[in-house]
Each structure stands twice: as C-alpha cells, then as structure tokens.
Structure 1
Amino acid sequence: MSIDLYGLPVSQVVGVKGKKLEELHTLGISSVGQLLDYYPFRYEDYTLRDLTEVKDGDKITVQAKIVGIPQLQMYGRTKSRMTCKVMVDTWFVTTVWFNRHFMKDKLASGAELVLTGKWDQKRSQLTVTEAEIPGQGNSQTGTLQPVYSLTAALTQKWFRQITRQALLQFAELIPEVLPAELLRRYDLLPRKTAVSLLHMPGDLARGQRARRRMVYEELFLFQLKMQAYRALNHKRADGVAHPVDLPAVRTFVRSLPFTLTDSQKKVTAEILDDLQQPYCMNRLLQGDVGAGKTVVAAISLFAVVKAGYQGALMVPTEILAEQHKRSLDRLFEPYGIQTALLTGSLTAKQRREVLASMQMGLVDIVVGTHALIQEDVFFRALGLVVTDEQHRFGVNQRSVLRRKGMNPDVLSMTATPIPRTLAITAFGDLDVSTLRELPKGRKPILTYSVPHSLLERVLGFISREVEAGRQAYVICPLIEESEKLDVQNAIDIHAQLQFAFPAYRVGLLHGRMNPSEKDEIMREFSEGRVHVLVSTTVIEVGVDVPNSTLMIVYDADRFGLSQLHQLRGRVGRGEHQSYCVLIADPKNEVGKERMKAMTDTNDGFEIARRDLELRGPGDFFGTKQSGVPDFRLADMVVDFETMEQARDDAAELVRLADFWTGAPYLPLRAFLQREHIFDSDLLD
C-alpha cells in the first residue's frame, strides 16, 4: 500500500520541529508532499570562476590565498567593515567583509579559503558574502545550490538541509502521475528523479532536464483539468437552451445609434449561439479599451430577457454601475425592459423594493456591485450573468453570483487584452471571444513621452485644454511621500496644481478615500464641475467622461505597459482630439522601452505582447486575483509552446474511452477527483 505524501505531516522529516515547524506552516507547507513541491526560484552557482572571464558586478566563487593582514573597523558593538588582501591565481584582490569580524582569526597569512561575493572590476575588489575552508564537509564549491522564497526566520542553509533529508527519507515514495506513453514520447525523467534534481541539481544540464519534466507535468495537469471540465460540461446538458428571438434581436441591433463593427457582429453571433445550447456558456469577452464590449453585453442581455429570463451585470464600482444602468436604460426604454440598480449605497427601503421586484420578476436586468452576491439577493429566473472587468472579482464572488440562478450562462468581460492564442490556452475552461476593431469615427489618442524638465510646458498644455472647455486627468503612482521611492505623489501634485491653476477646480482621488467620497468626486468630474482630476491608479477602471481629453501620467516609467494603456483609455471617448502625456525618467532603460511602445502604437494587443516580453506573465495577468494559474515552475511566455503541446495532449487523452476507466490513467482520474472536476458546479 502506497503512502500519501500529502497526508503525511511535515514533522515526519527528521529535524523539523518547534518554531521551524510553525514557520513552514506559514509558508503553506504542512505535509511532506508540500515540502517536496516547494521548488527553488533560482540557483546560486558556486562553480569556481576565472577572473579573466567574469564581468563587473557578477556574483562569483573563487579560491583565494590570504596574503595580507586583515584591517578591521568597528561601528558600535555589532557593525563592522573588514578588508584583507588575497591572491586569486595571479591576481591581487582586496576582499571586503561587512559585519563578519568573527572571521578575523581565520584570515591568517597563507590560509586558503573559498570565497563567494560580488566582483568590482575597477577596484579589483570582492565583497564577500560567504566563505568556507576547502576540504571541510558539506562543501558548496563546484555546485548549484537552490534558493527558496522563505520567511526571515528560516535560513537557506536549514531549508536545503531539510529538503535533502525529506528526499533521503521519502524520494522512493514519490508517485508517478504521467502515463508511460507521454514519458516515452517526450523522453521525460521519472517524477521522483525530477523532483530530487530540482532540489539538488548538481549541474545546470541536469537541473534543466528536471525542470523540463516538471514544467510539462504542471502544464499538462492544468490543461487536463480544463479539457476534462469542457468534455464533461458539454456532455452534461444542465444549462438552459434559451429560445432566442433572432428577429427581435436584429430589430434591436438596427435601432442602435451606430453600426456594429465586424468584430462585434462575429462575437455577438458566438454568444447568441451559446445561449441557445443546452449547456452553460462560460465565455470570456476581451477587447481593447473602447472596443464596444458593453454593447455586446447589452445585446446578450436583451436576447435573454426576450427569451423570458433575467440578467445580471456585476461591475467593480458604484459609479460604474450607475453609468452602465443609464446606458442600458437609454437602449432598452423603447422595448419596455425594466432595469434596476443594486449597490451598497441604497437605503434600506430602496433595497427592499429592488429585491422584491427581482424575486417577483418585475425587474428584467439588475446592474450592481458586490451587493449582488449578498445572501438575501434572489432572482425569479436568472439566465445570464455578465461580469465586467472580471479579474477584479475573486473566483468565489463570481461563483456565488452564478449560483443565484439554475446554472445561468456566464459572460466575463475584460479590457486587459491578452494575445488570443495565449488567452485560449490559459483560460482552458473558457471560450474566448475577442473584439479587435474600434468603432468607426474614433480618433486615435496622440501619445507623447517627455522628461520632468518639461513640466512647465505640460502645465501649459493642461491650461489650454481646460480653457477650451475640456478636462484632464493627472495620474501619480503614490498617495503620499515615500522614503523608499523618489516618485511624485498624489497629495503633493494636487497641492501644486491647485497653486498653479487657482481659477480651476482641481479634484483628488485615491484608494484610501471611502467609497462615497470616491463616487462623489467622480460624479463631479463626470458632470464637469471638476476641471482637473489628480488620481492614483484607482481611475484605471472608471466612468466614461467623453469631455476628458488629456491624460497626464507622472513617473510613467514606474507603471507596467498594460496599466499605462488602460489609463490612456480613460480619454479619447468623445468627439474631440485626445492626448496622453507620459512624464518619465529618460535614464530608466526599462521605462524607455515602455515609453517607446506607448508612443509607437495604440493597439492594446500589441501593447500586451510587449508587456509580456518586458514583465513576464505574473505581473501582466495580476495572477493572484485574476484566476490565471499561478504556476510553481512554468512561465506562460517562456513555456508557451509546452503549454500548447500539453493542451493538445490533454484534449487527445480525454477523448479516449479508456481514459475514463483504464488502470493506467487511475492517477490522473484521482487528480481530477481531488480538483472536484466531477462535481456538478462549474469550474472557476
């Protein structure tokens, strides 16, 4: 009988007890299996280096002979700086030791040490971080040593020791999960070998081979979960096949005050087709800022209401909810469709009336914030749930709203463009629709990057736009002054602009204000009573203010590309020419790349591609909140081809009848069982 390493307490590893055990628990490690799955995020290379081959600033390991007398300076009782001359091959090198005065006695002339530290080429100086005497046990020299993400109370040395001890005790019990045919097809290491090598690679080649095996497994299991869900969900006709009245929908579309783009027509057709199927729609609608996602959502809601069901639209802020309700009222009024607003600021009486109308079916569409998912909220017949800016809601929030109906169809919308193939692969459980075109007549936003020295000209630009009757946003990265970052902050900038523009009303918006204060300032801005709005990035997903034509971003090099693009999308929504001015440090190399991308293109998908290259997927997706998988080893950009291969392999496997019953696939079915894929609820 095999032992489940995930059910075996980590205290079974020799040397794990007391406070160290508590610290492991804070890292989420409570079992032996979780300890072995806690992989290093990088390796320290302790291979001996030749000084002729290293670059300035490299971290290096060298063998040195002491040739000088150590010079020690103390600062107080514990702080110190010690220097000592050594020979490395034929080089005279000055070594510097901070707070290591206890090493002084070991630096006797003629003694040999292996030193690791940062190399300063100009000074021929090594700032020592680690030292060991050759020939003593547990030498790191010539090896790759894992580096883990740990709490301050755990040292790398101790954690390395206990992972090695765990492997010594339990490596033979690590189960294989991949079928033999996949191991053969891709020449993958056995699982127990790969896990051992990830913690103790020995050399780079073996470490890379171990990573290749475990990255494939991680991506394959993720895709298997998605593909099995899709297979089961499509077989299980537990959704509602809405009888969509296509002639009525066409009449509604013809009545819109504009013509749909080809993209909007294509996406709308996909959604209407889904609504008529007996399984639950689970579709992601992504489109650039201003691409017309709301209109597509409105058509979808119209179709569901005409089929006899209710719709819900959940948005992240009250001001956005109010804006959506006004937009929907204008579109639906001629058709007698009743909408309601459900937010936290309703009075108790107003709330009771809305809830009663929802339960009796007197309201067709409810627009709301997280107030929609409270326990006392019920619908008579909820048929479609639309979540706008879906990444801003947690998985649990979205699934609670979905359970307000009998498996309603779900449409998630996001304005964070993701390259389509990546989106399809990452969101394996979702169908992905993409809006690529902007509505006709939209003027492209003119974008400029300027240094801080041109601030006076920027202020003049703001003044000219406001004098012409327009409004401006001014975005800052921080709320208050910070010792850590020398960046402009919203409170200081607000004070400066009030002084610079005494005749204008300058508003302030930031994340520490309470919701009613935020809503009030946004309302004043949208109604034109505030001329210049100084804000932190809380404005990123905000209301539509067609009269705002100028977006100024201070310290723009501190922002990610996709975030800058979202901010730029706050303007350019009216008939007037709009501008985005990015104030950035021209010496910041990464910032320079971002500024070039922003001034080169207005295409959100191209921006997203470059952002992935510059930042990597974790920052790009906002992994912790968006539901995009937070992989231990895999990188969705670097390992994209492996992800696609894993998706194809998983899809091929779930189509086999033998997969659902055969003995070779028992570990994979057990994995799906643990992931609740066989439960009736939708996967989130």
Structure 2
Amino acid sequence: MNNDLHAYPVRAVKGVTPAKAKELEALSIGTVADLIEYYPFRYEDYHIRDLAAVKDGEKVTVQGKIYSEPVLQMYGRSKSRMTCKVYIDPLFISAVMFNRHFLKDRLHPGQDIVLTGKWDGRRLQLIVSETELPGGSSSQTGTLQPVYSITAALTQKWMRKTIQQGIVQFGALVTEVLPVPIVDKYGFMPRKQAVYRIHHPDDAAEGKQARRRLVYEELFFFQLKMHAFRALQRKRADGVAHEFDNEVVRQFVRGLPFKLTDSQKKVIGEILHDLKQPYCMNRLLQGDVGAGKTVVAAAALFATVRAGCQGALMVPTEILAEQHKKSLDKLFEPYGVQVGLLTGSATDRQRRETLAALHMGLIDVVVGTHALIQDDVLFRKLGLVVTDEQHRFGVNQRSVLRRKGMNPDVLTMTATPIPRTLAITAFGDLDVSTLRELPQGRKPIKTYALGHDKLDRVIAFIRREVLEGRQAYVICPLIEESEKLDVQNAIDVHVQMSHAFPDFRVGLLHGRMPTQEKDAVMNEFKEKRVQVLVSTTVIEVGVDVPNATVMVIYDAIRFGLSQLHQLRGRVGRGEHQSFCILIADPKNETAKERLRVMTETNDGFEIARRDLELRGPGDFFGTKQSGLPEFKLADLMSDFETMEQARDDSADLVADPGFWTSADMLPLREFLQREQILDGEQLD
C-alpha cells in the first residue's frame, strides 16, 4: 500500500461513484488526501438546550414528549404542513413540520422525541428541520456535526459519511509532518488525531485544538515554501548581475526636475544594490497615492539600460501606459534612452515596427499593457520587469512577461498600501520597500461626506473652483452587473452637469469609448479645455492633472476604502488646496464607517488597514487573481499571530544547514520537491 494519500484517487473511497467523483472534482477534491483535508467551515450543535436561553430565530435542539396527535394538511400530491403539540418542560409548544407527512403514523402522544429547528418564542413554535425518535439508527443528539461547503448535487449527510469512510479506510496513512520540536513547543495534538477531530470533535474545545494544530501546519508549509525559495534563489545566483556606474545613476537623479524625498533615495539605493547581485531581485515597492513610485522605477530602468539590458514596464490601462511613456521620454531624452510603447490599440504597422525595434535592441525601455505578454513580443536582452498596480494583473500574466528574459530582475509596484498582515502573506517571497513620505508641497486633501440632498451645494462649490481656474472630476460608480448601466449612469450625470454648467465645457469618459476618443477627452482635460470631467473609474489609476482640485464621487458607498483613496489621489497633485466630496446616503453601519474613515485620514496605510478589517482579505485587492493564497482553514485576520509564529519557525529551519541534509527533515524536503521549489521553479 502506497503511503502517500495523494496517490489514491477519491474513487478509492467506498461509496464514491463516478457521478459523485465528478461533483467532488468541482470542489477541487480529486484524491483521498483532498477529501480527508476538506475541512468543515462550522458545526451544527445538537446538544439539548433549555428553550428559556434560546433567542428568536436561533436553531436549537430540544427534547420533550408528544402531547397531541399530529394534524396534517396536504397541498397537492407532495407538499404538506403537519403540526402537533409537544411538552418541553415547562412549555407546551407547537412543532411545525413541512413536507414530512411520512412521519404522521410514527408520532403518538406520550412518545419521547428530539426536535431540531428554528425557534419562534413569540408564537411558542418550532419550525422543525430534523426529528429523532427512540430506537433511531443514527443518533446525532448531543454531538457537534460538521458543515461543509458543497454543491447542490451533494448533501451534508453524504459528505459527512464519505469523509468518515475515507478516514476509516485510509486514516492509518495520516502521518506526522511537523518536526517534533515544533509539535512539542506548542503542545500540538498529533496530526492523525487532529485530522479526525476537526471532522468529529467531542466538544467545541476539542474542535478548537484540532483547528489550531491544522492552521499552524497550513501556514507553516506556506511560509516554508517562501523561505526555501528565497534561500535557494540566492544560492543559485542565476540572475542578471547588472554592471553600471553608480555615479552615472546619481547624475540622472541630480538631473531630475524635482528633489527626491528621503524615502525615494533610500528605496532607489535598495534597488540598485539588488540589481548588482547575481540573484534575481524580487521586490515589492509600495507607496501611498502620489508618493513618487514612477520616479523610483525610472531610476531602476535607467540603471538597467546603462548595464546593457532592456527594461519593460507593464501597466493596467492604455491611458496610464501613454502617460508613463511621456514621463519617461522627458526624463530619459537627455541620455539617449529610447522608450517604446506597445498597447492593444496600436496599428498593425506600429506594432510591427515596435516589435522589430525591441527584438533588435533599438528600444531600451518598453511601456505597455497586456499587449506586452503576447507570444510575438521578443526582447534582445530583458533585464528588468516592472509591473505597476500589480494586483490588476493575474499571476499568469506577470510570470509570462518575466519568462521573456533569462531570469530578469522583478520590481512590482502598488499604490494600494498593503497592511503588514497581508504583505508577509501574499508577498512573503518578496523584499518590500515602502515610500512613506509625499513629495514636498503636497497639501492634505480635505474630504467631506454629504447626502444626495446637498447636491446643489456641491455644484455651487464646483462652480466657485472652476471660476478660480481649477478643474473638477465627477465620478460615477462602476456597476459590474451591467456595463450598459454603468455607461448610462455616466451619460445621465454628464447631461445633468452640462445643464448645471452651461458656461463650462463638461467632458465624458468611460470604458466603452474607443481608445482614441478616451485619449482625446483626457488630453483636453489635461490642457484645461475641459473644466469638469464626468467619468467612471477608468481614471482611478495614475492619471495626473495637477490643476484638478475637486473630486466628487457619486454613490461612494459602492466602493471599498482603498478604491475611494485611489480616486481621491487624482487630485491634490498641484500647489492649490484640493477637496474630495463623497456623495452617499448610507443605510448600514459598515457604509457609514467607510465614509467616516475617509473624512478622518489621508494616510493610505491606515485606510488599507481599516479596509482589510471591514472587507476581509478576500476582497481587499478586488480580484481573485491577486496571488493571495486560498487557505483551507487559516484566516489572515484572526490567525495572524499564528502566521508570524509559522514564519519565524520556518525561517529558523531553512537557515540551519542541517535542514538540507538531516534525515529528520526529509519529509519537509520532499514537500518542497513536490512543490517544485527545489527545481528552481519561480514562485507566484
């Protein structure tokens, strides 16, 4: 018998038919290991309780005696409602059972009965979901029953039975995977016992102990991969060791039209040090909106070009790509660095010319969107890959670009400040650099939350700012269910604003417009020929118009905190005081709290922390492709302390030379082998 549970298909478990195996496959259960490690997300409590302590609407299990014959009402051939009086000391209650008419002949006055259902204290009524009579074959009274995420074609009863069968058949193969010193250090339950008890706890305390052990294990193996990857990556030294003169880069920095902040200088130093190393740089640059990440990236790209390599900068939108191209052209022109642009809207001729120049090395730095990762994009010598707003690209998209060079250095940038809770999780294999300061002269943006009934005041305020020579954004929410609705929303608001400001030019921008039309509108706004720009969130990232001082966001509660902060960051980029006005009529406390946070702070890191608390890590990046791991049991908020313990323990292990040779550590090295970490596979 093979000792690896992953070697046995789930069909090997008795009772799993081909049809059931297909349903399990939809839950990513393909092996016996997947089945046994498919953990419940909660438990149903079937312990007998006193009705006096039960709240209305709560599910409860009670024990009593049937007092009256059941009364049955049929609706059609199969639907029914049956009621009977049950004495549950000291109350007489009505037990109501829907579509359970088959029980009528089995329920008799004086008979003991256990009922589970939803309690209605006002009516003294229990809506029964389960019944248990004396002599029943499978009593669950007095137990905690696991509840699993399942498809419509499976039942909880079948899932419980099947997982139990898997444990009975293959439980002997569940072996200890954590080093003995770690098990002893935390007093963990043995693995075999934990796997059994997570599915079948005798009580809540035992379930918690099993979960504690398995959560640590899950986080430990995640962190072990990260630390082993970094250790091996540096040991292999198979990256590009860029050779450039630091003084040349210093001259470039001194020639910039503005003074760098201390944060920017420090981060550029970290990146230049990494570029000269023989291993691949894998660095995350995070900074608040407007902190100057692009200039840092420009210095890194300049150093790469001076070392004889090419650089690539991938951004999520064409508007942003064109903006970065213009910025880099201006910065690099005195040094003869050639910058190319590659986006989806390029003509066939433009694309052919750019691809040829890139392949021949005539383009030093290329800026582009997803168009950069097409198969026909070839570099002469790609040395540095920079991705901006990295969470907008899927894991696969980022790795495709990286593979276009021979282990190029990688710099990922984000203006969504990531709380430490997430940074060591989603980016545990990266070195993290942070820009905390804003450039000199930036004034904090004043933020206000107003109801829709104050719209007249908002319009008057916009008028005042525009008459003083400023400009304003008016943002409409993206409605994901229907992009037509989104466009219509923006068009309606554009009409309203055009009526409100007949003496100003009011522009319209949304994602359904052709690229050339979007560019024309954006350029008119930049050149001050449009005073008020009505837009969807297409302007969320990176668009830079220093003269814009007003940001009005309609239906602000439709957005997460981090997105509101990103939108707010489109203003406050010039010398004048800027304002953000959030228009919303919040109906719930979470929405009110979001607005309150926005009006109280401009600190993106504090906003990110609160956003994580309010929305949870799953929605934090707004995309399932963010690279965030999906843990079976662990929760990034409540289990953060365990994550830190697992990180420290795995780091200590990997740093010990004995880890790589000791027989005791063989199971952990085999795990890394299965995960292809020992083969030099890049982590994503």
Partners of 1:641 and 1:678 in 2: how far apart? 28
Q: Evaluate the alpha carbon distance shift between residue 467 and residue 527 of structure 1 in structure 2; reply closer, same or farther with a 3 A threshold.
A: same
Q: Evaluate the alpha carbon distance shift between residue 574 and residue 137 of structure 1 in structure 2; reply closer, same or farther with a 3 A threshold.
A: farther
Structure 1 residue 567, shift from structure 2 partner: 2.6
Residue 589 of structure 2 is matched in structure 1 by 589
Residue 475 of structure 2 is matched in structure 1 by 474
Alignment of 1:435-446 (within 5 A): 435-446=435-446
Partners of 1:104 and 1:528 in 2: how far apart? 80
Residue 182 of structure 1 is matched in structure 2 by 182
Contact 2:309/2:383 (CA < 8 Å) preserved in 1? yes
Alignment of 1:32-43 (within 5 A): 32-43=32-43
Partners of 1:322 and 1:76 in 2: how far apart? 67
Alignment of 1:90-109 (within 5 A): 90-98=90-98, 100=100, 108-109=108-109
Partners of 1:514 and 1:57 in 2: how far apart? 53
The answer on 1:501 being equivalent to 2:502 is: no
Structure 1 residue 56, shift from structure 2 partner: 3.5
Contact 1:470/1:531 (CA < 8 Å) preserved in 2? yes
Structure 1 residue 558, shift from structure 2 partner: 4.0
Q: Evaluate the alpha carbon distance shift between residue 500 and residue 290 of structure 1 in structure 2; reply closer, same or farther with a 3 A threshold.
A: closer
Partners of 1:72 and 1:531 in 2: how far apart? 72
Residue 218 of structure 1 is matched in structure 2 by 218
Q: Evaluate the alpha carbon distance shift between residue 531 and residue 143 of structure 1 in structure 2; reply closer, same or farther with a 3 A threshold.
A: farther
Contact 2:11/2:18 (CA < 8 Å) preserved in 1? no
Residue 485 of structure 1 is matched in structure 2 by none
- 1:389-434 superposed Cα distances (whole Å, 9 cap, x missing partner): 1112122222221122221111000112112465145422110001
Partners of 1:592 and 1:85 in 2: how far apart? 46
Structure 1 residue 547, shift from structure 2 partner: 3.9
Which deviates further from its counterpart, 92-101 or 295-304? Answer: 92-101
Contact 1:244/1:272 (CA < 8 Å) preserved in 2? no
Residue 551 of structure 1 is matched in structure 2 by 551
Alignment of 1:262-281 (within 5 A): 262-281=262-281
Residue 250 of structure 1 is matched in structure 2 by 250
- 1:164-183 superposed Cα distances (whole Å, 9 cap, x missing partner): 11111111111322122211
Partners of 2:177 and 2:598 in 1: how far apart? 45
Structure 1 residue 630, shift from structure 2 partner: 1.5
Partners of 2:373 and 2:407 in 1: how far apart? 15
Instruction: Report the secondary structure of 2:366's partner residue.
Output: strand
The answer on 1:58 being equivalent to 2:58 is: yes
Residue 574 of structure 1 is matched in structure 2 by 574
Which deviates further from its counterpart, 521-530 or 349-358? Answer: 521-530
Residue 11 of structure 2 is matched in structure 1 by 11
Contact 2:84/2:95 (CA < 8 Å) preserved in 1? yes
Opposite residue 626 of structure 1, the aligned amino acid is S
Residue 656 of structure 1 is matched in structure 2 by 656
Residue 343 of structure 2 is matched in structure 1 by 343
Alignment of 1:29-178 (within 5 A): 29-67=29-67, 84-98=84-98, 100=100, 108-178=108-178
Alignment of 1:419-434 (within 5 A): 419-420=419-420, 422-424=422-424, 426-434=426-434
Structure 1 residue 387, shift from structure 2 partner: 0.6
Opposite residue 226 of structure 2, the aligned amino acid is M
Partners of 1:522 and 1:594 in 2: how far apart? 29
The answer on 1:198 being equivalent to 2:198 is: yes
Partners of 2:400 and 2:322 in 1: how far apart? 22
User: Which sections of structure 1, spanning at least 5 residues, go unmatched?
Assistant: 483-487
Structure 1 residue 354, shift from structure 2 partner: 1.1
Residue 382 of structure 1 is matched in structure 2 by 382
- 1:354-380 superposed Cα distances (whole Å, 9 cap, x missing partner): 112112221111001121122221212
Which deviates further from its counterpart, 614-623 or 336-345? Answer: 614-623
Residue 358 of structure 2 is matched in structure 1 by 358
Partners of 1:494 and 1:664 in 2: how far apart? 67
Partners of 1:340 and 1:284 in 2: how far apart? 24
Partners of 1:456 and 1:83 in 2: how far apart? 59
Contact 2:65/2:111 (CA < 8 Å) preserved in 1? yes
Contact 2:345/2:515 (CA < 8 Å) preserved in 1? no
Identity %: 67
Which deviates further from its counterpart, 283-292 or 138-147? Answer: 138-147
Q: Evaluate the alpha carbon distance shift between residue 326 and residue 191 of structure 1 in structure 2; reply closer, same or farther with a 3 A threshold.
A: same
Match for 2:488 among 476, 486, 491?
491
Contact 2:9/2:31 (CA < 8 Å) preserved in 1? yes
Residue 447 of structure 2 is matched in structure 1 by 447
- 1:128-165 superposed Cα distances (whole Å, 9 cap, x missing partner): 33333354122222222211111111111111110011
Which deviates further from its counterpart, 158-167 or 571-580? Answer: 571-580
Residue 624 of structure 1 is matched in structure 2 by 624
Instruction: Report the secondary structure of 1:613's partner residue.
Output: helix
Partners of 2:169 and 2:427 in 1: how far apart? 38
Partners of 1:59 and 1:538 in 2: how far apart? 46
Opposite residue 606 of structure 2, the aligned amino acid is E
Contact 1:477/1:555 (CA < 8 Å) preserved in 2? no
Structure 1 residue 298, shift from structure 2 partner: 0.7
TM-score, length-scaled by structure 1: 0.92
Structure 1 residue 595, shift from structure 2 partner: 1.9
Structure 1 residue 45, shift from structure 2 partner: 1.8
Partners of 2:498 and 2:77 in 1: how far apart? 54
- 1:293-326 superposed Cα distances (whole Å, 9 cap, x missing partner): 1111011111111222211101111111111101
Contact 2:421/2:636 (CA < 8 Å) preserved in 1? no
Q: Count matched residues.
A: 678
Instruction: Report the secondary structure of 1:625's partner residue.
Output: coil
Structure 1 vs Structure 2 CA RMSD: 2.8
Contact 1:284/1:412 (CA < 8 Å) preserved in 2? yes
Alignment of 1:410-425 (within 5 A): 410-420=410-420, 422-424=422-424
Q: Evaluate the alpha carbon distance shift between residue 244 and residue 594 of structure 1 in structure 2; reply closer, same or farther with a 3 A threshold.
A: same
Opposite residue 219 of structure 1, the aligned amino acid is L
Contact 1:386/1:413 (CA < 8 Å) preserved in 2? yes
